[in-house]
Amino acid sequence: MTNLLDIRRELHQIPELGFKEFKTHAFLMQQIQSFPQERLTVTTWETGIVVKVEGLDPSKTIGWRTDIDGLPIEEETGVAFASMHDGQMHACGHDIHMTVALGLLQRLAEDPIDDHVVFLFQPAEEGPGGALPMREWLKAEHPELLPDQIFAFHIAPEYPVGTIATRPGILFANTGEFNIDLIGTEGHAAYPHKSRDMSVAASTLLLQLQTIVSRSVNPLDSAVVTVGKLTSGTAENIISGHARMEGTIRTFNADTMAAVKERIEAIGKGIELSFDCEVRVTYGSSYYQVVNDLDLTTKFIQFAQEQSAANVIVCDPAMTGEDFGFFLQEIPGFLFWAGVDSPYGLHHAKMNPDEGVIDFMVPFVESYFRSI
């Protein structure tokens, strides 16, 4: 295998969106095929890959999951190995996640542990979600590849390399994507009274959506409503007849998610009356919350505290989402953060993780696997 730094940089150059990770898939396969094959079984699903390393004296199957997709962001890091795909970037660290998984896989292929280890290279974490269909495919077609325990990590820009942060119980939120189309009447900029302007309607709607969390959610509960994308109109002298919002809802319980959706729809009805237009609310994928197994996570925290290279933080839950929650819904395990020390956060065009995390993580996780 090529060295891990080069691998990360090659992966960084070829970010691809969910279920379109074709080059990534080919690159991963090439690396996996360069490992000793005696104890490996390689199976593919969509653009994903599942690799089983046969254990020496197995009593269980351990799962390690990495996501493999990128984001629709134009990279601005200025690094020499920047994305070669216009408008796409590994701004959420999945290139690092994949590299750590490959490093671990190589070590275990060369020097297996007693238990079986299954590596899940999962597509489409950022959307529309690969974990749920991958889990269902495993159950239906390959139950022998289903792990008894499953683990994953996510890079954390706010911590230095060596920091491990997690908590028993809920770590990440439920997520729900939503889209809102506002349909009015296009017209000449000079004749506003003959049109129904969706830029003004969308601006009003955007501000009214801000009242959901501040006025409708119990202050002791938590929720986020973010409109990440807002488009409207075609030219400076044409009144916009169509605006569109794309957003995401985050909550820590299903009732709050349902209540937020109800409020979005009710506010949309109000906008229809106010602006004499049509407001269509539709929903995209939603992810189940990430709930870490209490016992396994507590023991993992103890393990990490005993490693001199690691600094362990028992952190608060975050409003991030992760479709890894669908694996944890049925298989005990946990997700943890690993520090990468970047002044720019996840999903930022300048997010540039400290690659030192790779050399820290591979032996750290290998030791953990050998300890359980």
Ligand X SMILES: CC(=O)N[C@@H](CCC[C@H](N)C(=O)O)C(=O)O
User: Which residues in this chain contact ligand X in the complex, by CB under 6 A?
Assistant: 92, 126-127, 154, 175, 177, 248, 287, 320-322, 346
- 181 classed as catalytic: no
Q: What minimum distance in Å lies between the beta carbon of 208 and ligand X? A: 21
Q: What minimum distance in Å lies between the beta carbon of 125 and ligand X? A: 6
Distance CA 196, CA 185 (A): 5
Secondary structure of residue 256 in the 3-state scheme: helix
Residue 101 identity: A
Nearer to ligand X, 346 or 362 (CB): 346
Q: What minimum distance in Å lies between the beta carbon of 286 and ligand X? A: 7
- Identify which of 321, 320, 324, 358 has the alpha carbon closest to the alpha carbon of residue 11: 358
The arrangement of strands across the sheet holding 174-183 comes to 223-232, 242-251, 174-183, 278-287
Rg for the chain, CA atoms, rounded? 23
Phi and psi, residue 213, nearest 5° = -70, -40
Q: What minimum distance in Å lies between the beta carbon of 236 and ligand X? A: 31
Contact 350, 83 (CB under 8 A): no
Nearer to ligand X, 163 or 320 (CB): 320
- Identify which of 138, 127, 148 has the alpha carbon closest to the alpha carbon of residue 323: 127
Distance CA 32, CA 40 (A): 9
Q: What minimum distance in Å lies between the beta carbon of 322 and ligand X? A: 5
Which of 16, 67, 75, 125 is flagged as catalytic? 67
The β-bridge relationship of strands 149-156 and 61-67 is parallel
Nearer to ligand X, 173 or 239 (CB): 173
User: Which residues, 6+ apart, have CB-to-CB distance to 310 below 8 Å?
Assistant: 162, 163, 164, 304, 364
Nearer to ligand X, 154 or 242 (CB): 154
Which of 16, 95, 115, 126 is flagged as catalytic? 126
Nearer to ligand X, 128 or 363 (CB): 128
Distance CA 144, CA 138 (A): 8
Q: What minimum distance in Å lies between the beta carbon of 346 and ligand X? A: 5
Nearer to ligand X, 322 or 341 (CB): 322
Q: What minimum distance in Å lies between the beta carbon of 127 and ligand X? A: 4
Contact 41, 52 (CB under 8 A): yes
Q: What minimum distance in Å lies between the beta carbon of 230 and ligand X? A: 15
Exposed / middle / buried, residue 307 (Cβ in 10 Å: 0-12, 13-18, 19+):
middle
- 95 classed as catalytic: no
Structure tokens belonging to residue 10:
């090659």
**Positive/negative CA dihedral, 18, 33, 102, 8:** negative
Nearer to ligand X, 293 or 322 (CB): 322
Distance CA 299, CA 157 (A): 25
Contact 171, 292 (CB under 8 A): yes
Nearer to ligand X, 126 or 197 (CB): 126
Catalytic annotation, residues: 67, 126
